[in-house]
């Protein structure tokens, strides 16, 4: 056994299928292999959060809270979730008490690792969620993220400064979250080296293979001393997903930082998930594969969004506009202050770019969410957005430009207000979990509740 083995967080139950098959894996697809996955010796199993919550309710007719209960009942390996700070799992900022209640309930239902990030790397959007997770009686592991991106203003030194802030906030580890596969191997070596020198807590690296860098980036990061890497079992790896678990285990076998994991034990698990992947692609008529595209260094769309974008364009009969859209993304991103492109900023910038391409005229139609991002409702952009762009191009009045996003969050509906709204709609005694589902996705949750009203304590038709 190596003295300092690299640990692996397995993403097949969350980001693997989110990146390749639009998050369509069901709990029944997971159940047959949970015991086997539990025996591998992973650092954690990423299995909740991200887009899974929305997809469970919207497409799979599953209660995400019940899914988490089932996972917890079958696993001893820590269950990891991806949480978008003040956004939680939705697309807006929520009031502090909603964030706190959500974190408390997620921990109570079985989340052992909270990976918490903010799309703009604005630490003001992380404080409430991080503090709530640190206060949970179950004592979950709390991990803060550096949302990695490249731009004229982003440097490794600035990411190290952010990591130090996260450590000071009480995070147990930090994760370099490279959602678009932008982190080049030698840059990764430098960044991990600097982080290891500056921090006392472990460093984890999460990347995607969209650019083709993935496996090489991990090897250089391992050389630099990274503690944990995120991988996906073969059928749900590579392309726009994470580097392959089996490949990384094999690459490090017999070396100084050998993972010590049994690659052969992964083979039957992968065979199962290959069948799952084929069934999902067939059932939902998905593309299911994506070519490596080094131009992601320019358009920077994250893996999960690329798969959804391609499928949406296909459904709309607009596949021929795909390249135009990829070309427009960096232009829109520059206009709005170089935000890292990850949920929700990726969807907001992507939608704006789509409108620009479809209408043939830039900023002719501007969605409310794009104006909110530009005027500061989601937090501070890496570069301040030009006043003229805000007022003249987007038509935002000067008195609506926001300096402190936390003041806006305080205006959000409280947990009790969401609960009262549900009662007025006939849900007389909803559980806290149902209120949280409703707070995040009101219309989607209502449709789900109508089909499953027996699961609600009382429902008036």
What is the tens place of the pLDDT at every residue in 234-262? Answer: 999 999 999 999 999 999 999 999 999 99
pLDDT > 90: what percent of the chain?
80
* Range from 24-38, 292-306, 382-396 carrying the lowest mean pLDDT: 292-306
Q: Are residues 109 and 239 in the same domain?
A: yes
Report yes or no on 436 lying in a domain.
yes
- Which CATH number goes with the domain that contains 278? 3.20.20.70
The answer to whether residue 314 scores a pLDDT higher than 90 is: no
**pLDDT at residue 456, rounded to an integer:** 52
Q: Are 119 and 343 in contact (CB under 8 A)?
A: yes
Report yes or no on 14 lying in a domain.
yes
Q: Which two tokens mark 403?
A: 């300096």
Cis status of the peptide bond prior to 82, with omega within 30 of 0: no
Report yes or no on 401 lying in a domain.
yes
Q: Are residues 97 and 168 in the same domain?
A: yes
Q: Are residues 353 and 329 in the same domain?
A: yes
Q: Are residues 213 and 355 in the same domain?
A: no
Confidence of residue 455 (pLDDT cuts 50, 70, 90): very low
Rounded CA-CA distance 400/125 in Å is 20
User: Average pLDDT for residues 93-105, to the nearest whole number?
Assistant: 97
State how far the alpha carbon of 127 is from the alpha carbons of 6, 99, 169, 236, 288, in Å: 29, 10, 8, 33, 37
State how far the alpha carbon of 54 is from the alpha carbons of 89, 214, 360, 442, in Å: 8, 28, 32, 11
- Helix/strand/coil for 335: helix
Better-scored residue on pLDDT, 390 or 358: 390
The answer to whether residue 86 scores a pLDDT higher than 50 is: yes
Last residue of a domain, one of 284, 317, 342: 284
Report yes or no on 345 lying in a domain.
yes
Confidence of residue 460 (pLDDT cuts 50, 70, 90): very low
**pLDDT at residue 461, rounded to an integer:** 44
Q: Are residues 232 and 179 in the same domain?
A: yes
User: Model confidence over 281-292: pLDDT tens digits?
Assistant: 999 988 777 778
Report yes or no on 461 lying in a domain.
no
Sign of the dihedral defined by the CA atoms of residues 290, 294, 298, 302, in that order: positive
Structural domain range at position 357:
296-409
The alpha-helical segments, DSSP class H, found in 236-385 are 245-252, 263-284, 296-299, 303-315, 322-335, 345-359, 368-375
The answer to whether residue 193 scores a pLDDT higher than 70 is: yes
**Per-residue H/E/C for 211-239:** CCCHHHHHHHHHHHCCCEEEEECHHHCCC
Q: Are residues 399 and 420 in the same domain?
A: no
Rounded CA-CA distance 182/166 in Å is 22
Report yes or no on 164 lying in a domain.
yes
Q: Are residues 99 and 149 in the same domain?
A: yes
Q: Are residues 444 and 315 in the same domain?
A: no
Q: Are residues 391 and 438 in the same domain?
A: no
Task: Output the DSSP codes for 297-331.
Answer: HHH---HHHHHHHHHHHHHTT-GGGHHHHHHHHHH
Better-scored residue on pLDDT, 97 or 347: 97
State how far the alpha carbon of 283 is from the alpha carbons of 241, 278, 286, in Å: 20, 9, 8
The domain total for the chain is: 3
User: Average pLDDT for residues 18-35, to the nearest whole number?
Assistant: 97
> What kind and span of H or E run contains 141?
strand 141-147
User: Average pLDDT for residues 64-81, to the nearest whole number?
Assistant: 98
User: Average pLDDT for residues 425-432, to the nearest whole number?
Assistant: 90
Report yes or no on 2 lying in a domain.
no
- Which CATH number goes with the domain that contains 377? 1.10.472.90
Q: Which of 402, 445, 415 is nearest to 95 (CA)?
A: 415
Rounded CA-CA distance 352/347 in Å is 8
* Range from 216-220, 339-343, 412-416, 443-447 carrying the lowest mean pLDDT: 339-343
Q: What residue has token string 């806290």?
A: 432
**pLDDT at residue 300, rounded to an integer:** 85
Report yes or no on 341 lying in a domain.
yes
Last residue of a domain, one of 236, 259, 284: 284
Last residue of a domain, one of 250, 284, 318: 284
Spell 280-313 as b/e; 16+ CB within 10 A means b. bbeeeebebebeebeebbebbbbbbbbbbbbbeb
**pLDDT at residue 313, rounded to an integer:** 67
Nearest-5° Cα angle at 345, 339 to 349: 90
Of 164-178, 289-303, 358-372, give the range with the top mean pLDDT.
Answer: 164-178
Rounded CA-CA distance 102/84 in Å is 12
**pLDDT at residue 308, rounded to an integer:** 67
Confidence of residue 151 (pLDDT cuts 50, 70, 90): very high
Q: Are residues 145 and 248 in the same domain?
A: yes
**pLDDT at residue 312, rounded to an integer:** 67
- Helix/strand/coil for 84: coil
- Report helix angle 263-284 to 245-252, nearest 10: 160
Q: Are residues 341 and 430 in the same domain?
A: no
* Range from 99-108, 148-157, 268-277, 306-315 carrying the lowest mean pLDDT: 306-315
Q: Are residues 71 and 133 in the same domain?
A: yes
User: Model confidence over 367-389: pLDDT tens digits?
Assistant: 999 999 999 999 999 999 999 99
Average pLDDT, the chain: 93
The answer to whether residue 97 scores a pLDDT higher than 90 is: yes
**pLDDT at residue 459, rounded to an integer:** 47
Confidence of residue 231 (pLDDT cuts 50, 70, 90): very high
- Report helix angle 127-134 to 96-109, nearest 10: 40
The answer to whether residue 44 scores a pLDDT higher than 90 is: yes
pLDDT > 70: what percent of the chain?
95
Rounded CA-CA distance 333/349 in Å is 7
pTM, 2 dp: 0.94
Confidence of residue 307 (pLDDT cuts 50, 70, 90): low
User: Average pLDDT for residues 24-41, to the nearest whole number?
Assistant: 98
């Amino acid at each position: 056994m190596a003295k300092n083995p690299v640990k692996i967080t397995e993403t097949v139950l969350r980001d693997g299928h989110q990146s390749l098959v639009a998050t369509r894996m069901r709990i029944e697809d997971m159940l047959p292999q949970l015991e086997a996955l539990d025996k591998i010796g992973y650092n954690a199993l990423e299995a909740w959060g991200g887009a899974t919550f929305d997809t469970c309710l919207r497409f799979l007719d599953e209660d995400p809270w019940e899914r988490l209960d089932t996972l917890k009942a079958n696993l001893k390996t820590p269950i990891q979730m991806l949480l978008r700070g003040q956004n939680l799992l939705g697309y807006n900022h929520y009031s502090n008490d909603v964030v706190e209640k959500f974190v408390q309930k997620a921990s109570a239902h079985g989340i052992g690792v909270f990976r918490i990030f903010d799309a703009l790397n604005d630490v003001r959007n992380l404080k409430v969620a991080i503090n709530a997770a640190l206060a949970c009686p179950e004592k979950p592991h709390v991990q803060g993220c550096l949302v990695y991106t490249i731009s004229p203003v982003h440097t490794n030194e600035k990411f190290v400064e952010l990591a130090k802030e996260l450590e000071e906030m009480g995070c147990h580890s930090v994760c370099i979250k490279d959602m678009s596969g932008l982190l080049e191997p030698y840059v990764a070596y430098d960044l991990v080296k600097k982080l290891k020198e500056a921090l006392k807590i472990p460093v984890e690296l999460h990347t995607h293979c969209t650019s083709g860098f993935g496996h090489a980036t991990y090897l250089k990061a391992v050389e630099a001393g990274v503690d944990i890497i995120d991988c996906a079992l073969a059928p749900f790896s590579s392309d726009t997903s994470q580097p392959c678990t089996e490949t990384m285990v094999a690459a490090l076998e017999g070396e100084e930082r050998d993972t010590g994991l049994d690659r052969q034990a992964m083979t039957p698990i992968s065979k199962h998930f290959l069948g799952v992947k084929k069934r999902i692609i067939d059932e939902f008529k998905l593309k299911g594969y994506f070519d490596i595209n080094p131009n992601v260094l320019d358009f920077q769309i994250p893996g999960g969004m690329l798969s959804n974008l391609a499928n949406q364009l296909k459904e709309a009969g607009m596949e021929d506009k795909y390249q135009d859209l990829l070309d427009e993304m960096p232009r829109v991103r520059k206009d709005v202050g170089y935000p890292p492109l990850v949920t929700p900023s990726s969807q907001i910038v992507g939608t704006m770019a789509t409108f620009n391409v479809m209408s043939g005229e830039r900023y002719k139609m501007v969605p409310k969410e794009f104006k909110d991002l530009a005027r500061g409702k989601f937090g501070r952009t890496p570069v301040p957005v030009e006043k003229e762009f805000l007022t003249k191009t987007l038509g935002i009045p000067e008195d609506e430009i926001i300096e402190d996003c936390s003041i806006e969050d305080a205006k959000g509906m409280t947990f009790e207000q969401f609960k009262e709204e549900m009662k007025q709609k006939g849900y007389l005694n909803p559980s806290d979990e149902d209120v949280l589902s409703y707070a995040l996705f009101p219309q989607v949750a209502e449709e789900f509740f109508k089909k499953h009203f027996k699961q609600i304590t009382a429902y008036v038709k």
